[in-house]
Each structure stands twice: as structure tokens, then as C-alpha cells.
Amino acid sequence: LEAAWPSKRKRVQTDPNTVFASIEQVYRAQIEAGRIEDIMAEESGYESSGLEASYIVVG
């Protein structure tokens, strides 16, 4: 019966200087809404402060 209820949602807080939300912002909104669990913080005991950028350098 619980599967019939709509899932929880939360508005993604975007940076006013950007057009679209980043993946990290969407991920945080999903965690806050309770749609997913923060697996990374549970495994490592580390919570991202949002100050560091995550990117891949392609040479």
C-alpha cells in the first residue's frame, strides 16, 4: 500500500548565479526529503561541506 503513495519531494535550492541545479544540489535535496539515504556520509563518516568542487580533468 505504501508503494501507491507519491514519493516525498523537496524543491532544489539553486545558486542564483547559475541556470541549472548541480548534481550535488539535487542529491542533497533528495536526502533532505527522505527519498534516499546519504550513503557516502554513513560509510566514511564524512559530510561534504559543499565548498570543494568535484570534477574530472580530461587531458
Q: What confidence score (pLDDT) does residue 21 get? A: 79
Q: What is the pLDDT of residues 16-36, one digit of tens each?
A: 776 777 788 888 888 887 777
Q: Are 32 and 10 in contact (CB under 8 A)?
A: yes
Q: What confidence score (pLDDT) does residue 50 get? A: 52
The HSE-up count of residue 8 (CA atoms within 13 Å, CB side) is: 10
Q: What is the pLDDT of residues 35-57, one digit of tens each?
A: 777 666 555 555 555 545 566 66
Q: What confidence score (pLDDT) does residue 19 get? A: 74
